[in-house]
Structure 1
């Protein structure tokens, strides 16, 4: 997978497309909840395979953390380490910006995936967009 930092409208549209497929169509999150005010200021990533966008995420800096958000891979492309690749790319940018901690809100079904990448749960379960989540952190 070729991961790009979004720097054009076309790439942003590709990232939004992946998010809409995964979160809105598959997980039934409302489009209004999925696309929010943070999209304008976040750093976006899009992963391509054979020219097609198949993964996306966004990164914001909140307090002393790089906050990983909207991490998604289109269903047919899961299980091929694409999620790990995009998270690694995000962590590299966090480190380049001088931050030493990463944070994310994980859907509970993905806790084990994030634990394998070194993230630790630091909250109880909470609902976000009707989906159970926990907050997880990692020292980089």
Structure 2
């Protein structure tokens, strides 16, 4: 069973688990520089970490934006050993539920790596056709918005 826990506390074990997952997936596997991975938004976001049998398996974060009509899902990552176990979908569904409960009038958006566009489409997101592909940390992304 997958259990998703949340925190906004940068000193909590949940946040530390999220950082460890991001380090493994983004920095080690995808070669994203550490200074790009850990950013100025760390203290402004809500962290979601999925656990399987008590082991951290994947993470995401939700960045509320008071100056926009949308909030952002960021840093979605699943450890290799837990891929193909619906961890990513479970985390995104948890973020969507949280967002709908706390920000019902605000859109939900994310920047998807191009190879993950189909995954996000299966969860109700659509590519924003007016936004061109862009590079983030040297990886091509597409902006997507949740169809509420």
TM bin, normalised by shorter chain, reads: over 0.9
Structural RMSD (CA): 1.2
Choose from 51, 65, 73 the match for 1:68.
Answer: 73
In structure 1, the partner of 2:101 is 96
Structure 1: gaps of 5 or more residues = none
In structure 2, the partner of 1:39 is 42
SS at match of 1:4: strand
| Pair 1:56–1:48, CA change in 2 (3 A) | same
In structure 2, the partner of 1:127 is 135
SS at match of 1:37: coil
In structure 2, the partner of 1:4 is 5
Normalised by the length of structure 2, the TM-score is 0.90
Structure 2: gaps of 5 or more residues = none
Q: Structure 2 matches for 1:108-123, cutoff 5 A?
A: 108-122=114-128, 123=131
Normalised by the length of structure 1, the TM-score is 0.94
The number of residues matched between the two structures is: 140
Q: Distance in 2 between matches of 1:64 and 1:139?
A: 14
| Pair 1:85–1:72, CA change in 2 (3 A) | same
Q: Deviation at 1:66?
A: 2.5
SS at match of 1:28: coil
In structure 2, the partner of 1:25 is 28
Choose from 38, 53, 58 the match for 1:55.
Answer: 58
